Structure 1
Amino acid sequence: MRHFVLLVVISAAISGGCSRDRRYPFTGQVLAVRAERQEITVKHEDVRGFMPAMTMPFRVKDAAQLASVRPGDLITATLVVQDTVAHLEQVAKTGTAPLPADMPKAPLGSMIAPGAEVPGAEFTDQDGHERRLSDWRGKTIAVTFVYTRCPLPDFCPLMDRHFAAVQRAVRTATDLADRVHLLSVSFDPDFDTPAVLKRHAERAGANPASWSYLTGQREGLDKFAAAFGVTILREEGKMDEIIHNLRTAVIDRNGRLVTVLNGNDWQPEQLIAELRAADAGR
């Protein structure tokens, strides 16, 4: 079973609306504690019936439980998954263990600044067609990075939901319709084949005329992602293990970077405003 390591920012504010909670026993080792975000990063075991072993940050519902949690602690907890958010409850320390000493180092990447031309890249879209970033020259582009097997609703699935909302808004906006294109780039090309992406795109509600899912060669994808500050790490000899963050970029009609939205804290309205400003020639 492949292990994915996903380092992204969780914005899992607990919703007060109606939602069916799914609860799963959870076991792992704490690698980092961010009390100010009410968050711990855990290298966890398989969550049976929900997700494979991964390393990722989780929001803890009760901030008081973080007071006694330290990196290296072995814990048990309950993973609670709702429709759009997830968090840990009943966090309990069961022991300690040495922290992993073999985390991969980040490769040197070239992050471009706003106003710089975005480097060219080659992709394959969900229909199996070879594409280049320049194919969308003349349109304002929003690009984000996902993988289709991401299980937690406030990670990659949230990016899909946000893009779906943006797509709906763009279609009805007279100043943006036919002038904006959305790109969701997978960083898991071994699994996310064009056929897989096509099924995923259909479930997400992506209209290929305005929203494309892309894959490609791993090296090219990583280089393209690095231009926007996306870090994708793969440990030598364990290429199935991935560490990444979330970034969503806006590119203007001339192929120049306008801005980058970090993590998953942004809202569709914010991206729409950035697209509108970029299209107007900001």
Structure 2
Amino acid sequence: MSIVSVGLKWLLLATLVLPASLCASEDPHRDHQGAAKTAPGYFPLAFPAPAAGSYSLPVIGSAADGEVLLDTGQRRRLHQIFDDKLVVLSFIYTHCPDPNGCPLASYVLAQLQKQITQHRSLSQRVKLVSLSFDPDNDPPHILAAYGRHFRSPLGQWEFVTTEGHQQLQPILDSYNQWVTPVIGPQGQATGMLSHLLRVYLIDPQNRIRNIYSTSYLHPRLLLADLQTLAAEKPY
């Protein structure tokens, strides 16, 4: 799937505006392990966000269904969780060591959650969903503990996993989300996973309307896109 043209425009703008000197040695924002948080999503937006409704978001594809587990252990289908709402879906794993990977997605969604709760027109229409692609190490109780760091009682944010890789792989394949175990120099498993950060914007008809990567995943842009979709006339 290709990123829609408006997303590409934002990516190019971010590349042009973001200072070339922004690197790990100069960035004051670091995680607890000292790794630099350099992704644009951690900083104020470097260019004006497009006015909501001043552009359109074409349909990219269908948002697949699949069997998942809530952080309570209850079984659900993804489309049940989406519940005919505007959905922001991120794929994560809770012990991701790259601050510009999964922690970025959770940070941006947390900031978006704050903004959504301040917009009455969106607060009941938007669902955030974080789906772990590491069922071996992210069972429901781990996701429940992880989610407590991010959830607001005013928001709607589900943290879900799968019972195993048999349930997970068809979901990953459908969303074109690849995940590869990282192998150490002696051929040993490290527990780390190599993956491409992708966050999906899904409309109430379960259609993908945008895909965000590290370079332009930002709460202001997500909010503008959600407001744009919310203003669409029903099909």
* TM-score normalized by the length of structure 1: 0.58
Read off the aligned partner of 2:114 and give its amino acid letter: R
Q: How many angstroms does 1:233 deviate by?
A: 3.0
Q: Which residue of 2 aligns with 1:132?
A: 77
What is the alpha-carbon distance in structure 1 between the residues aligned to residue 31 and residue 200 of structure 2? Answer: 33
Q: What pairs up with 1:45-194 in 2 under 5 angstroms?
A: 80-82=34-36, 84-85=37-38, 114-135=59-80, 136-194=82-140
Q: Which residue of 2 aligns with 1:281?
A: 232
What is the alpha-carbon distance in structure 1 between the residues aligned to residue 144 and residue 201 of structure 2? Answer: 23
Q: 1:178 to 1:146 in 2, by over 3 A?
A: same
* TM-score normalized by the length of structure 2: 0.68
Q: What pairs up with 1:212-251 in 2 under 5 angstroms?
A: 212-216=158-162, 217-234=164-181, 242-251=193-202
Count of residue correspondences: 189
Higher strand residue share: 1
Instruction: Report % sequence identity.
Output: 25
Q: After superposition, give the CA deviation of every residue in 1:239-266 in whole Å (9 maximum; x if it has no partner).
A: 9563311110011011111111123532
Q: How many angstroms does 1:268 deviate by?
A: 0.8
Higher relative contact order (CA 8 A, sep 6+): 2
Q: Is the 8 A contact 1:143 1:248 kept in 2?
A: yes
Q: CA RMSD in A?
A: 3.2
Read off the aligned partner of 2:178 and give its amino acid letter: T
What is the alpha-carbon distance in structure 1 between the residues aligned to residue 68 and residue 209 of structure 2? Answer: 22
Q: Is the 8 A contact 1:159 1:264 kept in 2?
A: no
Q: Which residue of 1 aligns with 2:209?
A: 258
Read off the aligned partner of 2:105 and give its amino acid letter: M
Q: Which residue of 1 aligns with 2:142?
A: 196
Q: Is the 8 A contact 2:27 2:38 kept in 1?
A: no
Higher helix residue share: 2
Q: Secondary structure at the match of 2:61?
A: coil
Q: Is the 8 A contact 1:233 1:243 kept in 2?
A: yes
Q: Is the 8 A contact 1:228 1:247 kept in 2?
A: no
Read off the aligned partner of 1:199 and give its amino acid letter: A
Q: Is the 8 A contact 1:148 1:197 kept in 2?
A: yes
Q: Which residue of 2 aligns with 1:57?
A: none
Read off the aligned partner of 1:279 and give its amino acid letter: A
Unaligned runs of 5+ in 2: 1-17, 40-57
What is the alpha-carbon distance in structure 1 between the residues aligned to residue 31 and residue 172 of structure 2? Answer: 34
